[in-house]
Amino acid sequence: MQIIFGTGVVNKVYAAFIQAAGISESSKSEAADLAAKKLNPFQRIARLLSNIFVPIIPAIVASGLLMGLLGMVKTYGWVDPSNALYIMLDMCSSAAFIILPILIGFTAAREFGGNPYLGATLGGILTHPALTNAWGVAAGFHTMNFFGIEVAMIGYQGTVFPVLLAVWFMSMVEKRLRRVIPDALDLILTPFLTVIISGFIALLLIGPAGRALGDGISFILSTLISHAGWLAGLLFGGLYSVIVITGIHHSFHAIEAGLLGNPSIGVNFLLPIWAMANVAQGGACFAVWFKTKDAKIKAITLPSAFSAMLGITEAAIFGINLRFVKPFIAALVAVPPAAPGWCRCTST
């Protein structure tokens, strides 16, 4: 005999059955919950980020290695930038980071207890073509007046923190809506209202707040660069990997453009500093590969380490170093002593 329950009712029947039968919903989830109770707040956050990013590490590593290859091709002039091969390599290397909020939206919603496909949809809203690409902000962007509120039409390609906050909020909204919306209308109204409410809040509040934080850090950094370059190197080198976690490091592109466009400067002395921070994270990840006996960990640490060495640290930071905490801290500590000296290095 087969009993079919309507949309929305099935979840309630399932929960009631679990309670009445006195069985656990999932032994894996139960074990994870018990393990989480033994962790301190920082370890819980690190575990959460690791669970969100580990599934998308292959995409990040693939794009990171391709970006490194493309950088070599461009630096040594092996292929003309207008060549079809170069254009296709560029498309393949940047794709994962362009849709990174969508990938994060899917895995984050699953981790927060929301609908993964709604999370991916919210990530798509934050990278919609109607918004100026985040990497092209230095060239200018337009604004939109929303009932008297000026909204900067800037996308969130490659960002982490804004989409994480937005998807967490979306998951909370979805759970609360399911409690009050009648079962017969659950399939229609819950996704509709969740996307509308979360999308508006993400575009009007969460996204701009993350961007404002990035602009504030950029202002402080540019001021330090103008008046105390060594101190900027010390702070920026030591905190860069922490800033990468939030995803607001993309706001530094405006500072880079300003440095390169200033006739009296004409060089970028920030790139060597954060390149050192990237290498430190890659080295810490490689150390995990060297010490661990877990075959699954070994399988993802080596490519993640190489990707970090080439400048793409997300896989190493979120997938490995933050997961074990100590490698991330070791990489942070290793950078500041050398950062002031690297302020003398430049990139064009």
Q: What is the number of other CB atoms lying within 10 angstroms of the CB of residue 242?
A: 13
Stretch among 129-133, 135-139, 223-227 having the lowest mean pLDDT: 135-139
Under 8 Å between Cβ of 261 and 267: no
H helices present in the chain, as ranges: 9-21, 27-37, 41-53, 57-75, 84-98, 100-112, 116-126, 161-180, 186-201, 207-227, 229-246, 253-261, 271-291, 295-309, 314-316, 322-324, 326-334, 339-342
Going by pLDDT thresholds of 50, 70 and 90, the confidence category of residue 334 is confident
pTM here?
0.68
**Distance between CA atoms of residues 1 and 4, nearest Å:** 10
* Residue 282 identity: G
Rounded to an integer, the average pLDDT of 45-73 is 80
Under 8 Å between Cβ of 322 and 328: yes
Q: What sign does the CA torsion over 116, 121, 122, 127 have? A: positive
**Average pLDDT of the chain?**
78
Residue 344: phi and psi, rounded to 5, are -80, -15
Longest dimension (CA), the chain: 81
pLDDT tens for each residue of 258-310: 555 454 555 666 777 778 888 999 999 999 999 998 888 888 898 889 888 88
User: How much of the chain, in percent, has pLDDT values that exceed 90?
Assistant: 18
User: What pLDDT, on the 0 to 100 scale, is given for residue 348?
Assistant: 53
Spell out the SS3 assignment of 15-64.
HHHHHHHCCCCCHHHHHHHHHHHCCCHHHHHHHHHHHHHHHHHHHHHHHH
Task: Determine the 3-state secondary structure of 2 from DSSP.
Answer: coil
